[in-house]
Chain A
Amino acid sequence: MVRCFLIHTVCPISALSAGECRVLYSRVFGPDEAVLSEELQELNPEERRLVQKEKVAVVARQVHSAVTLSREASGRQLVEMVPGEEVLALQDADSGVARLRAGDPFNEEMSVLWLGVQSLGFTLVCEPHENLLLAEGTLRNLTRHCLEHLHMLGPGSEVLLKSSRIDVLLSRLLPHGQLLFLNHRFAQSLEKEVAAYMAK
């Protein structure tokens, strides 16, 4: 299962102070793991939600530093892209995978796959036994759709104001966190549904 999908900032942006990381979209699939584990039983629901938000923030920060280090090491320059160049932006994106130890911050060990497109990071937190080849492909596909349907290469704020589109995208391509083996025909069929929704 994919435990969560995030979109967050990854590199120094003029709108934020250095090192700060803003989570633009987060979707945690399934029940809160704290609820079913024995340790955090004494928390009330508000505190549990807080803990979950904090966990998401921890993941975003880890990916933030991973992307920064990776870009530093490869020494590649970031080329500014404009709407319309989504496919190019995706080809040019940095990608990587990291390991989150059990307890830090999720109860079990997780693998974090990330794609760094310009100043945004797209992150999937997967259980480690998951098929990472499939997860990588799914992440790229999701990112492409997000970039296109929400015009994310431009300065707009659609990712904040039209988050329901991402919810629908996820409900088709990653329903409840389930990675799907979709050949191009199945994928086309689902993407048609998504496009129909976006057009409304």
Chain B
Amino acid sequence: MYSHGSESLMKQAREIQEPELQKFYSRLVKLLQGKELGHETVDSLQRLHLILSATKYTRTLPSELRTRLLSLLSSPVEQLQVLSSAVLREMSPLSGEELNYIQENVGHLNSHTAALLLSKAGTRADLSSVCVQLLRGLDNRPSEAPAHSLMHTLPVLNTILTHSPECLTEDHITLLSKRLVDWLCYASTVQGGGASSGRFFTGPRSRQPVPIAELDGSSVSGNFFTVLCVGQGFTEDQWMNVYSFSMLHHWLLTYHSVSIGNSTVETANRSQLSLSHSFSNDDRSEVDGSLVSMVSATSSSSRLLPPKERLREKAFQYCQRIIEQSDRKAQKKTDTDLQKACLVEAVCILDCVCVEDASLVFRTFPSIKGLFGRLSPDLSFARVLLPIAQFYLNHGEMAAVDCESVWKLVFGQFPAELFNDPFLAHELLRFLRLNLEKFQLGVPQYTHFFPNLLKFLAWDSPAVVDDFVDLLPSLVTPVTAVELLHTLLDLPCLSATLILQLRSTCLPISEQGGRGLLSLDAFRNPSFRGLFLFMLRGEAGSGDTIDRLSTLHDLLAEAADWPRVVHCAQTVPVLLHIYFSTVVMVADEKLLAHLILVMLERSSILLKIPTYVKEIHRVFSCHLLRMCKLWPSLVVDQSHELVEFAGISGNVYSKEELYTHVVWVLGEYLSVSCDSRCSVRLITSCFETLEAVLFEITSSGTPDGTVCPAPRVITTLMSALAKLASRSHDLIPRVSLFLSKLRTVTRSGSVAWCSDEEDLVAIVTRGEELWSLLKAPGVAQSVLTPSHHITTPQWHRDTNVAMPLQLRALTSLTHPQ
């Protein structure tokens, strides 16, 4: 598709030299001077566009060429309009003269010129002038204007709304509201464009107006025209009906929310559909205020309403009609897809108008409820059900409607069955993200569905991890914390399980061969059913984890190199960091203690993916440290498990990072100053455990003869022993003995347990420092177990320290030396 030829073409365009370029410009000017502009001109213009767009640095055109190109904007040949607009878009902004030229000569603003003006708009004033020009064309159209000349008006206005809504004045808004109402509800209901029907005989009979039809072929009978009506050809106002509906939602979001001049607020409103009543600045509606509130309760006398309110009412009616039309069986598949898209749009618009005028809620809910009832059994309508869920969330409370079934569907069923639909995942997670506060207040039980929500992440981590970075903190609650940690650690297993689930439904049972044979058999094996079912659970609360987790890991061993599983494993450390950062803020000490146990336990029960285990250990180490720093008494509290972990010498080799940190926190926080429950016996038993391990790993032979313990482990052990000894002085002789033995052994040359000479020197140096420190127990104690007011100084608050500092500061200021 992209060949070497194309690549060299792009290179040529980018690297064309200045002299050659100037020659090209002059040749092009000559061509444009001719009366007839043929294929050669068009080709050259196309090449010019390629040359200009291929590089990110702006080139300058000679002014004559620019002038010629400007004149092409009003050419009757569309190709020339397109090319000149495209070329000029790549250039520097249009000067004031050029803008005047366009205004005077281009007459009725064609779509391509409008595109150029929009693209080169330098200020809001530029956009305003385009807006004014367009609306002038809307108001008084010359009769000889070509058909479809109005059609780009609404898209251009929509663009201006997006970037600068205040470009439209109140009058403009009123004018457009009226026109939108006309186009939406009063477009003709007969077919247009008789010339395109291709009939040979155009007798009087065939000139009878043919009515338009619904998508299933039935007649429209008395109803108004919508985007879901078909005909052989269309009149202009029917086209405008399509354009109007296409921008209606955006229009309502922009001008029917709280009207403040600040565009960022309106952008926020646009994207958040906040529950706010609009106060129209229109003087007329203030006068009609009482009339409005009376009238909006009944739909009949809508003509009495001011333009904005009338548009709201008509939008309501249009959407109700769309909902009715979407139930018809369309004859073409593209129309079925369009019906779905229209439903989404209609529900969103209804939601929008109900936010603006709460009295419409009662008129709207019946059809929304009907839609929900009709569509909820059919999963292919899942994406339509999301805006419906948004409607329930926004207005359900007011209408006193029970929304339980909605949340069961959205959080219970969708993730479980549609986790592999990337669009649904994106939209559902976005729905959750935007309404997080509302959910936390009104539907707090959504956090119980975290196993289901994590299925999206397990299936397609790269696409949705960004959403989970935002969502995960809200899922961490004291109730869910432990189970959530287990689930996050087993996310790669969930990933593998989902793959197996899909494969098992696709592949026939008898098929052998292919990837995933063993794990697929295991998945289908009844005796392992429970394990997989636990992974696939939708709600939390049925247990933190399962006993036979390591069995599950063995069964899924071959999944460790499946790309989806690997992608998933790469996102887990990031999420764990977020998890731990959040959990320390919501958890009490008891929960944190439990989490430490989980960390120690799970450090050996993880799916064996290369680098996964190491990464998890690194995260654990980091957060173990943070937790113990925040709550030092945790160490004494969990001392039994921590010492047990530290006593397993195998951990030195298999879990080096975590082991090092466990030893460090034991050394640092196992003291009376951190927790009064710390007894001498506790310190001694910890000391003995660590001492035994240190002896073992520094003995002459290592377990398998090949692996050496990391130097950092040895120095950490030594430091920890020294710290413990400084708190219980009768342990000091034992440490000193070991350290002096260490010095002796290493003096004789290399040792079996340390291969690198520099590392050995570092270890020995540390040993000597500790040894000399321990010679003075009192000093050792204050250095190795500093008291609280030294480790956490609060200089400015400390009365002992603040005064001297102040005096010193004043002295140095007043006596410059």
Contacts and interface: CB of A to CB of B under 8 A. Distances in A.
B337 A197 contact: no
Nearest to B464: A99
Contacts of A53: 56
Contact of A1 (B79, B158, B239, B335): B158
B270 to A, nearest CB: 6
A157 B334 contact: no
Contacts of A66: 462-463
Contacts of A98: 426, 463, 466
A75 B338 CA distance: 31
Given A1-B158, A136-B423, A96 B463 contact: yes
A120 interface: yes
Nearest to A49: B58
Interface stretch (B246-254, B448-456, B659-667): B246-254
A157 B6 contact: yes
A178 B154 contact: yes
B567 A160 contact: no
Contacts of B57: 46, 50
Contacts of A22: 2, 7, 10
Contacts of B383: 132-133
Contacts of A35: 121-123
Interface string B48-64: 01100100111000000
Interface string A5-36: 00001000111100000101010111111011
Interface in A95-143: 95-99, 101, 108-109, 111, 117-120, 127-129, 131-134, 136-137
Given A181-B338, A185-B230, A185-B234, A118 B1 contact: yes
A62 B621 CA distance: 33
Interface string B440-480: 00000000000000000000101100110000000000000
Contact of B46 (A28, A162, A179): A162
B430 A164 contact: no
Contact of A176 (B156, B340, B423, B426): B156
Contacts of A40: none
A157 B338 contact: no
Interface string B131-171: 00000000000000000000110111011001110000000
B556 interface: no
B78 A197 contact: yes
A39 interface: no
Contacts of A24: 2, 6
Interface string B1-17: 11111110110010000
The residue among A153, A159, A186 with the most chain B CB atoms within 10 A of its own CB is A186
A164 B89 CA distance: 13
A164 B463 contact: no
A196 B127 CA distance: 32
Given A1-B158, A160-B9, 19 more contacts: A15-B6, A26-B53, A28-B119, A53-B56, A97-B423, A111-B426, A117-B1, A120-B1, A120-B2, A131-B344, A134-B345, A157-B6, A175-B151, A176-B158, A176-B159, A181-B341, A183-B229, A185-B234, A186-B242
Interface of B: 1-7, 9-10, 13, 43, 46-47, 49-50, 53, 56-58, 78-79, 82-83, 85-86, 90, 92-93, 111-112, 114-115, 118-124, 126-127, 151-152, 154-156, 158-159, 162-164, 196, 215, 227-234, 239, 242-243, 245-247, 249-250, 253, 267, 270-271, 332, 334-335, 337-338, 340-342, 344-345, 348, 383-384, 422-423, 426-427, 430, 460, 462-463, 466-467, 563-564, 567
Interface of A: 1, 9, 13-16, 22, 24, 26, 28-33, 35-36, 45-46, 49-50, 53-54, 65-66, 69-70, 72-73, 75, 95-99, 101, 108-109, 111, 117-120, 127-129, 131-134, 136-137, 152-157, 159-164, 167-168, 171, 175-187, 189, 197, 200
